[in-house]
Amino acid sequence: MARKAQIAKQQKNAKFKTREKNRCKVCGRTHGYMSKYGVCRICFREMAANGEIPGVKKSSW
């Protein structure tokens, strides 16, 4: 249920321009965001382990 709230929050327009944040496209998380991939570090690790990100393979994490 928390993810639904985060995604809904992500889709709302910010009241002020300075409040806009980069958010993970999968879960809506703001911290640990990797701008090159558009996802947070947790989703990045899961996607890399499953082979869903081209050019990235799991190392020893």
43 belongs to an annotated ligand binding site:
yes
Tell me whether residue 9 is annotated as binding. no
Per-residue CA distances from 4 to 11, 21, 23, 35, 55 (Å) = 11, 17, 14, 22, 30
Rounded CA separation 12/22 (Å): 13
Annotated binding-site positions? 24, 27, 40, 43
Annotated binding-site positions for Zn(2+)? 24, 27, 40, 43
